[in-house]
Amino acid sequence: MNQKEHSLPADLFMDLERSGPMPLYFQIAQRIEKAIMGGDLPAGSRLENEVALGERLGLSRPTIRRAIQELVDKGLLVRRRGIGTQVVHGQVTRRVELTSLYEDLAGSGQKPSTRLLTLDEVPADANVAERLAVAEGDPTLHVRRVRLADDVPVAVLENWLPADFLDVSSDELTTHGLYQVLRARGVTMRVAKQRIGARKATAEEASLLEIDRSSALLTMDRTAYDNSGRAVEFGHHCYRPDLYSFEVTLVDK
C-alpha cells in the first residue's frame, strides 16, 4: 500500500467561496472527499499536515482541522499516531448476522489482513467453560489477532475454540477468516448469541489500533453454535468506532 504523502492539487480549492454562506471548513471537506471518491487520493495515501495545508491555502489551522475531522467522522480519513492523516476506503457497516469481520471487509471492497498475536493451547477458565459448554480446565485454543483493512488496524479479535480445533495453524489464521477456517473443517454454523457494547481502550489496545489511549471502542461478545447446537467458538472483539459500526434491522411483528 502506498503511504507516500500527497499534496492536494491547488486547483482543488480554486473556487472556494471565502465570503459566501457555506463555511470554509465544509467546502474544504467536500473537495477532499471528492478527491478521495474520484481516486485522486487512493487508500493509504497520507495528507500533508494541517499547518502546511493551511499555509498553502491561506487558512487557519482550526479551519483545516475541522475539515479533516469531518472526513474522519465519515470514515474516509483516519489519524494514525506517528504516521499522520491517512485515506481509508470508508467506515465498514456490519449487519448483525453470522459472518466474520474478514468476510465483511472483503465484501465491502477492502483488503483484509491479519496480524497474529497469540495462538496457544490454554485451559478453559470459568467464563470460557460456560460459553463453550466444556469443563473448567479443559483444553481450548486461544487466538488473538489484529484485523486490518487496507493495512489500517480496525479491530482486536480474541477467540477461544474447543479442543477439536487445537490443530488450527497460524498460516490458516493469517490468510483466512476464522469462520472460513471452521467451514473448511466441515463446521456448519447455525446460530450465535451476541452482545454489543462499548468501553474505553486499554493502553495495549490503543497501541495495537494506533489510537489515543482511553479512546472509545465498540465491543462484541459472541458465541457461535453449529447445526447440532454445539458451541464452536467464543469471541471477545473490540473495534475502532471511527472505522466500524453495527447495523440492525428491526421488524414490527
What confidence tens digit (pLDDT) does each residue in 25-75 have?
888 888 888 888 777 777 777 888 888 888 888 888 899 999 888 888 777
Sign of CA dihedral 215, 128, 249, 114: positive
The pLDDT, as a whole number, for residue 97 is 47
Specify the pLDDT at position 94. 47
pLDDT digits (tens, 9 = 90+) for 81-125: 777 888 875 554 444 445 667 666 666 667 889 999 999 999 999
Find cell 470514515 and name the residue: 75
Q: Is the pLDDT of residue 126 over 90?
A: yes
250 contact partners, CB below 8 Å, separation of at least 6:
none
In this prediction, residue 53 carries a pLDDT of 85
| 139-149 sheet: strands from edge to edge | 112-123, 139-149, 152-161, 231-239, 216-226, 189-200
- pLDDT reported for residue 95: 47
Higher pLDDT, 188 or 159: 159
Instruction: Determine contact, residues 43/1, Cβ cutoff 8 Å.
Output: yes
Higher pLDDT, 54 or 9: 54
Closest CA to 13 of 50, 53, 47, 52: 53
pLDDT by residue (tens digit) across 201-253? 999 999 999 888 878 999 999 999 888 889 999 999 999 887 776 665 554 54
**pLDDT (0 to 100) of residue 219:** 94
pLDDT at res. 214: 79
Mean pLDDT, range 116-144, rounded to an integer: 96
pLDDT at 180 over 60: yes
d(CA 176, CA 143) in angstroms, rounded, equals 13
Return the closest-CA partner of residue 52 out of 39, 36, 37, 68: 68
pLDDT at 87: 82
> Above 70 in pLDDT, residue 181?
yes
Sequence-distant (6+) residues with CB within 8 A of 171 are none
Query: Which pLDDT does position 102 carry in this prediction?
Result: 67
* Torsion angle (degrees, nearest 10) of CA 233, 239, 241, 247: -20
- In the predicted model, what is the mean pLDDT of residues 8-18? 74
Task: Report whether 158 contacts 191 (CB < 8 A).
Answer: no
pTM over 0.75: no
From residue 20, give the alpha-carbon distance in Å to each of 23, 47, 55, 63, 183: 8, 26, 21, 15, 58
Q: In terms of Cα–Cα distance, which of 184, 157, 164 is closest to 172?
A: 184
Q: Is the pLDDT at 132 greater than 80, yes or no?
A: yes
Nearest CA to 154 among 97, 88, 249, 200? 88
Residue pLDDT, tens place only, 88-97: 755 544 444 4
Average pLDDT over residues 10-33: 81
Facing residues of 112 across strands?
149
